[in-house]
A and B are shown apart, each in its own frame.
Chain A
Amino acid sequence: MKRYATLYLYFLRFSFSKAMEFRLDFSFRIIMDVIYYMVNILLFKILFLHTDLIAGWTEEQMMIFVSSYLLVDAINMTIFSTNMWWLPYFINKGELDYYLIRPVSPLFFLSLREFSANSFINLIIAFGFFTYSIATYSLPWEWEKLFGLLILMINGSLIYYCIQMLMVIPVFWTHSARGFVDLFYTLGLAMERPDRIFKGWLRVLFTVILPFGLIASFPARYFIEGFDTKTFFHLAMVSAGLWIVMLTVWRWGLKNYSSASS
């Protein structure tokens, strides 16, 4: 465990020094993400000009949800996304070899090697908006609920990572340039909507099979309304199940990897 922590510190040092090489790009990336945040906030602000409630939530409750998914997105952009971007390239070019022969878990190395330093600044901005949305929430709330919300958002980040991996891993078989990453980003829209709008089979899809609804909507719901035991059980089972499925498919993919001839 200590060895992995030390290795991760090296990743951080390397990533920050690399980011500083391209200062203009560094600044542009921060501006880009700020625009993304503004577009998302504006979208719901405009929708609330036409209705008082969406999926049972008022505007200020919706802002807690919006700030939650922006924060989860920022966590993933900072920790995982750059690595996910390069993974299909490594698989197709046979460069995965260099990661498989190292004496550390290839999944750990390939998922965490590049820490996105510019996104870390955006993570701070997203956290600022999250804090603002909680601080301006007019209804009474409890500290335990806030703590629970943060824990569930970390769990949400892992769910997000698992689904993204499941969309990249098919590259082992298809050898395409990006796998189903474009489809993943479209599916990601489901994370940006309250889970209560999904009914019937669509609800099953987004809360069990591809559980985007569990990433930010369930955590926000916990803070705003609280959970019953059944919902907690659902969240725990789906999260654990998804992690197991991802690991199984990853191992399966590695078995299918044919090195430089891929």
Chain B
Amino acid sequence: MTNWWRFVIAAEIRKILAFRTDFWITFVGQTLIQILIARALWQAIFESAGKEVMEGFTLHMMTLYYLLVPIGSKMLTGENVGFLSREIYDGTFNRYLIYPLSFFQYKTLTYLTYSAFYGLQFILVYFLYLIFQGNGITPSNVINLFLGASLFMIASYAYGMLAMFIELISLWADNIWTLMVMCRFFSFFFGGAYMPLNFFPMWLQEIVQFTPFPYLVSLPIRTTMGLASTIEIATGLGVLIIWAILFRLAASLLWSKGQFRYNGVGI
């Protein structure tokens, strides 16, 4: 079992690609639709405001921002979030207690496999954008993309641990998927997925800096676009790692207390 992780990754990739038609239609459709709707809205706003630059963003930059948001968000949330509580609910959680490997390692690996898969799409889409825009692929583009995608992977780990913490609450409560949805609303809205955080009033921008949210979405995207300074990236990386450790510790604490409440037959 030394190479158990290889089998887990292969199984997860097979799961992702099991329904290829659905997968590609959903992926291309979601990306395309979100960018078209966002561009239409911002074009109307730029026209109404009579400006070419708003809060440091041109319409062109805004289009790129909204091209990266849906794929980055997919990286962050993966598709494996939300299953744990259901497994606890119906008793299929038993299998993790039988597997000869750590529950946390297994769950983290399955989660990050999804993130890495969407990470490849993130890189592909950004390269396609650069080629079709006629800007070409420059070394600075590649470095920014590498930094942005890496930040997204760390953000995915942090979000995965936050999700795990919330899902483990289901060892006490019957149904917690609503908490997951609330977490997603907060992460995406205050993370800058709905609009760049520069558009928030200053007082709100200052408050959200004390939360993990801006480092989950806004920072990786701004880094990919080359809008974040080196200091911002370094600070953000440090903050992300601290939040990831905190969420991991909180999830471990819940697991250590909650596993004794699990009765193995479901609810």
Contact = CB atoms under 8 A, between A and B. Distances in A.
Q: Do A and B come from one complex?
A: yes
Interface of A: 22, 24-25, 28-29, 31-32, 35-36, 39, 42-43, 46-47, 49-55, 174, 176-177, 179-180, 182-183, 186-187, 189-190, 193-194, 196-199, 202
B40 interface: yes
Given A42-B189, A46-B199, A182-B26, A22 B44 contact: no
A193 B37 contact: yes
Contacts of A51: 45, 48-49
A24 B175 contact: yes
Given A22-B174, A22-B175, 10 more contacts: A28-B182, A32-B185, A35-B186, A49-B199, A50-B54, A54-B44, A187-B29, A193-B37, A194-B44, A202-B40
Nearest to B179: A28
B208 interface: no
Contact of B195 (A31, A47, A198): A47
Contacts of B70: 186
A31 B115 CA distance: 29
Contacts of B195: 43, 46-47
Interface of B: 19, 21-22, 25-26, 29-30, 33-34, 36-37, 40-41, 43-45, 48-49, 54-55, 70, 173-176, 178-179, 181-182, 185-186, 189, 194-195, 199-201
Contacts, number: 100
A189 B37 contact: yes
B26 A43 contact: no
A54 B49 CA distance: 9
Contacts of B36: 202
B19 A39 contact: no
Contacts of A183: 25-26, 29-30, 33
Contacts of A42: 189
B48 A39 contact: no
